[in-house]
Amino acid sequence: TLTTLGTTNGADFTGIAVNGAHVFAVDAALDRVVRFPVAGGSGTTVIGSGLSSPAGIVFGSATQMWLTDTGSDRVLEYVESGGSWGFSRVLLPAASGVRDPCGLALTPDGRLAAAGCGSDDVVLVDPVTLAVSPLVLPGAGGLEAPKDLVWSGDSLLVASAVNNAVLSFDAA
C-alpha cells in the first residue's frame, strides 16, 4: 500500500529522516527542511533560511538535527528549542576538504560519518570535540560520488553513484 505523507510543488527532496512522530525531508531546490506528520498531512517548513543546496539529514538526538550543506561544503547542526529549530554550529567546516558533503550516518559509537560527493571520501566527525578523521580515503575501493551511507554492524555501506554500486567497508 502506498501512502503519500505530503507533497510540495517544486520541491527536490534529497534526504529524509524520522524523528518521533514526524518525517523530515530536505528540499534542495528551495534550500529548506520540511516536516510532515508520520500519519500524513500538510508539511511545515522548519528551516527556511541559511542553507545552500542541503542534501543529507540525520538526528543525533530528538532535539539535534545534522544536515549536509553541499553548497557551502559544510555539515551543520540545528537544535530544537521551544518547538523551533535553530542553527547551533558547524560540525564539519569547508576547511576539512570534504567537497559537496551529501550523505550522513551515525556510527555505532556515536560519531558522525559524512560522505563527500565531490571528494569521493568519507570522514568521521566527533560531535563533542569536532575532530575530523578520514574513514574512507578518496577513491578507495572504487568509491566515486558517494551519495548515501548506513552502518550495518561494523561495516559501512556506501551508495556509489558513478559506478552504480553499494560498497561495503569493514571498519573493525
**Rounded mean pLDDT, 124-148:** 94
Question: What pTM was estimated for this model as a whole?
Answer: 0.92
Q: Which residues pair with 151 in a beta bridge?
A: 156
- pLDDT tens per residue, range 27-80: 999 999 999 888 777 788 899 999 999 999 999 999 999 999 999 999 999 999
